[in-house]
Amino acid sequence: MQQNMIRNEAYRTTVICVDSYNKGVLAGRYYNVGQEDEVLTFHSLIQLLSGMEKKLNELNYPQSFTAMRSLVPLAEPKLGPLKEASKSKGKIATFSVKILFRQNTSWQGVITWQEKKVEQTFRSVLELILMLDGALGGFEDE
């Protein structure tokens, strides 16, 4: 069980490669660090956030605070071996988002702006959105 917990740590992190940011609409690619072979594209914030939530639900990690609990163990997701993190970068910015908890129907975690080497914690998805918008505001219309 301890080995599984250690292995799952990387599955908390999603890398967001932002390729464009125009009038508040971001677009690019994202992938879960534990499943780098599956790079997904997004053309809006809603596509990005709903895709990330779907992946977290598939992995059941971190487990949602509001999920039904059971004494009968649920089937573990099929997790492949971890690879070294990709060097994939966004055209204008790259962020690593590590989701530590999914409580109160939101996310809590740490976001790192890779190019600037700046890290900040967030307590909700709204706070995460505002941080992304603040970081990308200088790239408007590029």
Rounded Cα gap, residues 45 and 73, in angstroms: 34
Q: Where are the domains of the chain?
A: 2-139
pLDDT digits (tens, 9 = 90+) for 86-138: 568 999 999 999 999 999 889 999 999 999 999 999 999 999 999 999 999 98
pTM of this structure: 0.82
Total residue length of the chain: 142
- When computed from its CA atoms, the radius of gyration of the chain, rounded to whole angstroms, is 15
